[in-house]
């Protein structure tokens, strides 16, 4: 229940997803507090370093060359431009920069060399660097790791069954292969998906099965709400409800307790109260900035005002896991989940004894 499992079934995850909402929120929040600081949320900036002209046919994406979406394309940015954007992001509170390029797959050559230099440059700013560049070979993943890449994003998007209803130019196995290539390095994996594309609850559970059964599980999982863009095949999809987003975030937190759950696209359609519920349910990362690649996003000043209102603090870079809970808080959390406190390991026994001594002195 409270440790990462790699044998979740679709039936089990559906049962969690469909729990009475208050019970679901309580369980997700309790598990969240066992593994993360509930008052700390990472702020990341997503930067489109090469926009438009993608040969893929992802039904949700306005950057596909075959769709007419009025997206203004641009060639690969310069290292100087990227550094300036990264400095701006850092000044506004971001600890991670994720660079996205509208490529089907990475091709060795001058452009990839430039991306590697971007990674090195941002690394020197004491910021986490993430890339989402399409499919990677094992050698390309290794070169990114050597340049200092912290994370690689490659979303599964949906369940394996529904995936083919949204994309035909790349298979589900292709995505898993790229994740596997990244896993052969020390780069962390960021992989999630989108809800609101016409999929069923079974498909949402299926996507979480695919992610949670990876071993190790992804260090971060973005949960996106579809932003329907005119000119794409999914332009007529209605916005997903906040209740579906909250359920998806909470279920992800329960199924992948140690993962950073990223509240991603679709936040412009959410109220402050809706976002607060997502944080309570276990989301501990957002993307800041006026755009997520090409789709609208809340202004960074609005996000900072929300953080102040909720008492949230931006996470510092290079912290893979926030775990500041006291021994007594952990005891209480385990008991509320109907489990005995897990103090079997020597370090846990020492921690508990030290806590007892401190309490006795006070």
Cα gap 341→351, rounded to integer Å: 13
Residue keyed to tokens 């089907």: 104
Q: Is 131 annotated as a binding residue?
A: no
**Dihedral sign of CA atoms 120, 37, 1, 277 in order:** negative
Active site residues: 54, 58, 61, 98, 130, 190, 262
The closest alpha carbon to 218, from 195, 193, 192, 194, belongs to: 192
Q: Is 54 annotated as a binding residue?
A: yes
Structure tokens at 323: 């775990």
Number of Cα atoms under 13 Å in the Cβ half of residue 6 = 6
The set of residues, in sequence order, having a beta carbon less than 8 Å from that of 242 and lying 6+ positions away, is 270, 271, 274, 277
Q: Is 278 annotated as a binding residue?
A: no
Q: Is 130 annotated as a binding residue?
A: yes
The H or E element spanning position 355 is: helix 346-361
Q: Is 190 annotated as a binding residue?
A: yes
Tell me: cis bond preceding 282? Omega within 30 of 0 counts: no
Binding residues: 54, 58, 61, 98, 130, 190, 262
Binding residues for [4Fe-4S] cluster: 54, 58, 61
């Amino acid at each position: 229940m409270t440790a990462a499992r790699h044998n979740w079934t679709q039936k089990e995850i559906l049962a969690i997803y469909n729990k009475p909402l208050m019970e679901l929120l309580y369980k997700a929040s309790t598990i969240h507090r066992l593994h993360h600081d509930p008052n700390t949320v990472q702020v990341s900036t997503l930067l489109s370093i090469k926009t438009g002209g993608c040969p893929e046919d992802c039904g949700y994406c306005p950057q596909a060359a075959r769709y007419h979406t009025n997206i203004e394309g641009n060639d690969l940015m310069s290292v100087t431009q990227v550094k300036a954007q990264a400095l701006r992001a850092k000044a506004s509170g971001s600890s991670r920069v994720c660079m996205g390029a509208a490529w089907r797959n990475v091709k060795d050559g001058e452009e990839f060399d430039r991306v590697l230099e971007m990674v090195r440059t941002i690394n020197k700013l004491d910021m986490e660097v993430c890339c989402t560049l399409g499919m990677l070979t094992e050698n390309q993943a290794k070169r990114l790791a050597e340049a200092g890449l912290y994370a690689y994003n490659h979303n599964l998007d949906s369940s394996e069954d529904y995936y083919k209803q949204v994309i035909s130019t790349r298979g589900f196995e292709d995505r898993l292969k790229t994740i596997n290539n990244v896993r052969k390095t020390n780069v962390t994996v960021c992989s999630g998906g989108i809800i609101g594309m016409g999929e069923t609850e079974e498909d949402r559970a299926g996507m979480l099965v695919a992610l949670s059964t990876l071993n190790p599980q992804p260090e971060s999982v973005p949960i996106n709400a579809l932003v329907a863009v005119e000119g794409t095949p999914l332009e007529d999809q209605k916005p997903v409800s906040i209740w579906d987003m909250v359920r998806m975030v909470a279920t992800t937190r329960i199924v992948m307790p140690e993962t950073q759950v990223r509240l991603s696209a679709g936040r412009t359609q959410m109220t402050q109260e809706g976002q607060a519920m997502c944080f309570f349910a276990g989301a501990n990362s957002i993307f800041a900035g006026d755009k997520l690649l090409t789709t609208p996003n809340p202004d960074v000043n609005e996000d900072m005002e929300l953080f102040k209102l909720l008492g949230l603090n931006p996470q510092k870079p290079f912290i893979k896991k926030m775990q500041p809970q006291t021994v007594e808080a952990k005891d209480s959390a385990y008991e509320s989940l109907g489990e005995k406190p897990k103090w079997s390991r020597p370090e846990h026994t020492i921690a508990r004894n030290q806590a007892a001594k401190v309490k006795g002195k006070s």
